[in-house]
Chains A and B, each alone.
Chain A
Amino acid sequence: MIDFFAVFGLEPRPVLDVGVLGDLFANKSKTSHPDRAADGDFATLNEAFNTLRDPASRILHLLALSGQEPPPKAASAGVSTWFGKMATGLQQFDRMFQPLTQETSSLLRAIKIREVQSTLADLEEISEGLTREKAGLLQAMGEIDARWPSDRPADRDSLAQIACDLRFLEKWLAQISERRLRLASVAP
């Protein structure tokens, strides 16, 4: 397995400066992009960059490097509480949004846009909660990073749990963002 941290000459740890990583990626592209070198392994550099810039996949890669395949985890109790709210919020939005897309009368559209907007407001509230939740996870990650390299199994378990929770949060935030864009595409 390729050590993606080593590809950039970085020390393997949970937290890194994504701005610095972007600069390293740009710099290394100059010598490995197919336009510059026929034998440069750009696809690997690309994969390394994409893995390390996302906190969840960075953690999973870090754990895998130390030979420990983290067991597949379910979302933590805290994150699980959002599941029901998300499902209801999305369903409400989609149910209101569908008829809007086929409406041709401006007045009926205006009324339906108002209705959809109020369901979006619910989703925005959830989105704020998810963002707070995510900030908490990133902070916890930072605390573990402060005592890295850590041999404590508890730290590794917490990291695996954080990665799993982040994946859920990211997915939900993307789903809400998608609804926001859908409404923006029909509203004037």
Chain B
Amino acid sequence: MSQIVGIDLGTTNSLIGVMDSGFPILLADSEGFRLTPSIVHFPVSGEPLVGRPAGRMKAISPERTVFSVKRLMGIRPGETGKDNFPFRVADAQGKTTIVIGDQTVTPEEVSTIILRKLKADAEKSLGSAIDRAVITVPAYFNDLQRQATKRAGEAAGFTVERIINEPTAAALAYGLDRLKDRAKIAVYDLGGGTFDISILELNEGVFRVLSTNGNTRLGGDDIDRDLVRLLEERITARYPEIRHELKDPLFSARLRELAHDAKLRLSDENGVQIEIPFLSGNRRFNYLLSRQELDAITRPIVRRTRSHCLRSMDDAKVAPRDLDEVILVGGVTRMPIVRQLVAEIFQRLPNTSQNPDEAVAVGATIQAGIISGEIQSVVLLDVTPLSLGVETFGGLMNVIIPRNTTIPCKAGEMFTNAVAYQRSMRIKVLQGERELAKDNWELGSFEIEFAPVPKGVARVGIQFEIDANGILHVLARDVSTGQQTLLDLASAVDVSDEAVEQMIAESVDHAFEDMSERVWTETSIKSNELLPAVKSALTLVGDQLTEADKQEIDGLVKAVNEALDSKDIQRLKSANAALDQGTQHLATLLIDRAMSEAERRRAG
């Protein structure tokens, strides 16, 4: 049988590896690098460019150069969120697509093109054909995102032997030479586009995932985006007259590159000089970006990982002191501020022994070795990241397989007819942690057929199976014959274009109703909430403020009161905002006090 390769299909970079006499090695691409940028450029005519050559086109032809496509995998229109790509993202028949000139491609197809390049380059360097692969995905990918990744691999000519979670793969890379150990570890994986946290137990070669959590749309790209915004503000502050030129796609692409490079360099340096010599005409822009400024941008983004970490520890029933190591993976974890925040969350210094860019690919290669039988002493037990359930009467979610269940697993559910002589029933399959069905991802639906009998007599057993890839299969079992049939899940995205248009039209109609009146009401409600809040905060922690601080707040309060009398919306809005801004310090003092009070209560 042919070799199996391990592939890290990353948001920013992709890597491919293979087992070589018992050891995982990573292969260089045709440009000579192990990291192949996950970038595809579509020229006006001819074959797409992939990797480094495509990366060079990012600043020259931004609207034809697709990057970070992983953030769009298995994503439905309307879920794309705040991402602002220089290429056009649209939806066609309820599917997210990318429009390049008069051509459209899906995120899945772009991934296939990247995988094809990895395959071709690896075949060249190995001198033999390869057609089997293990491909990594973020642990928090849902069923739809996993299936899209698997299809992309198949379209590139691979038999996808396994879809493996990235933090789990990284744990394999860490643990391969510690097979005698018994330990509990956390893997903190913050990459270009996604965040995962997984907690594992290593037990003499068995890697058992206890829990996993994450956010598939949180990563280094968010830092780049906010850094670009900061630079844009600095430029307009100096040259307000060229504000409109900043929206030029070529310029945005250049700024994005500059921001990204500056971010990387600020992991080692304390300040980076950003220079744009020919900004517009003979205007030039020079700016010394400090690490403190980057930290201020990064902190709120990285803080969002905290609640995911707390959740995964809660699910695994471990406290920080129960963990033996916290392993860092993903390029963003090179940033000192990230290491510092991780140390705060887990109350220990993180382990930086793994190469943050390569550990996932090395782990995927190890998993390939496990499947091919080259590695005998290791077994990986992963979990399903999200609860699986069905919609019940009243629009609630009924959980059938809870999150963090070890996979592969199965669970049965009996369905009975709710009405006499009912012939069929449509069941919606959901994934997620919310109580209301509509707040979870709908994976699709299937139809159950009943015999025409009185209420409650017809019974059909449905078996839900999650395989080792974390992908769902639904089987119906005929109770009389015991025969099982695999059910097709009808896609949930078959919404007609007219229905979508209608929804948009309606929401716009409502938006303009009584606009000015409503805005005034909302703004004054806000003021009437703020004013007493300031007063009570001052009584609680006012003694910790300087006299000057107090006077400033008094002035801001007075301005809000005057604006309320003036009936001027704009004036009230800015007075509110100023008071908001001016009481930030007061808010911090209040929270500090609340925290120490809670601490005291806990201490008893």
Contact = CB atoms under 8 A, between A and B. Distances in A.
A114 B594 contact: yes
Interface residues on A, range: 35 or more
A111 B381 contact: no
Interface in B569-594: 576, 580, 583-584, 586-588, 590-591, 593-594
B580 A29 contact: no
Interface in A107-124: 107-111, 113-114, 117, 121, 124
A33 to B, nearest CB: 5
Given A26-B206, A46-B406, A117-B598, A107 B379 contact: no
Interface in A168-187: 177, 181, 184-185, 187
B583 A106 contact: yes
- Main secondary structure, interface of A, reads helix
Interface in A65-113: 104-111, 113
B568 interface: no
A110 B576 CA distance: 16
10 contacts: A29-B208, A46-B408, A105-B530, A107-B530, A107-B537, A110-B588, A110-B594, A111-B537, A111-B590, A184-B306
Given A114-B594, A181-B314, A107 B406 contact: no
A135 B303 CA distance: 36
A110 B591 contact: yes
Contacts of B465: 43
A142 interface: no
A121 B203 contact: no
Interface stretch (A34-42, A56-64, A149-157): A34-42
Given A42-B408, A117-B598, A33 B379 contact: yes
Contacts of A181: 307, 310-311, 314
B379 to A, nearest CB: 5
A47 B409 contact: yes
A46 B205 CA distance: 18
B462 to A, nearest CB: 16
Interface in B182-223: 201, 203-206, 208
Q: Identify the 6 closest CB pairs spanning chains A and B, nearest first.
A: A185-B307, A26-B206, A106-B587, A110-B590, A110-B587, A107-B583
A71 B246 CA distance: 72
A27 B206 contact: yes
B204 A111 contact: no
A107 B584 CA distance: 6
- Main secondary structure, interface of B, reads helix
Interface residues of B, number: 47
Contacts of B602: 124
B115 interface: no
A22 interface: yes
Interface string B520-538: 0000001001100110110
Contact of B370 (A35, A42, A121): A35
Contacts of A26: 203-204, 206, 208, 381
Given A26-B204, A43-B408, A110-B590, A33 B381 contact: yes
Given A23-B203, A105-B580, A43 B530 contact: no
A104 B405 CA distance: 37
A184 B530 contact: no
Contacts of A185: 306-307, 310
A10 to B, nearest CB: 18
A29 B468 contact: no
B206 A29 contact: yes
Contacts of A27: 204, 206
B371 A106 contact: no
Given A29-B206, A113-B594, A105 B381 contact: no
A30 interface: yes
A181 B314 CA distance: 9
Nearest to A30: B379
B314 A177 contact: yes
A188 interface: yes
Nearest to A43: B410
A177 B310 CA distance: 11
A29 B314 CA distance: 25
B408 A36 contact: no
Nearest to A26: B206
B601 interface: yes
B380 interface: yes
Nearest to A187: B591
A50 interface: yes
A50 B586 CA distance: 49
Interface in B492-543: 526, 529-530, 533-534, 536-537
Given A30-B205, A107-B530, A35 B598 contact: no
Contacts of B588: 106, 110
Contacts of A35: 370-371, 379-380, 468
A104 to B, nearest CB: 8
Given A26-B204, A30-B206, A105 B526 contact: yes
A172 B314 CA distance: 15
Given A35-B370, A188-B591, A121 B533 contact: no
Contacts of A184: 306-307, 310
A35 B584 CA distance: 55
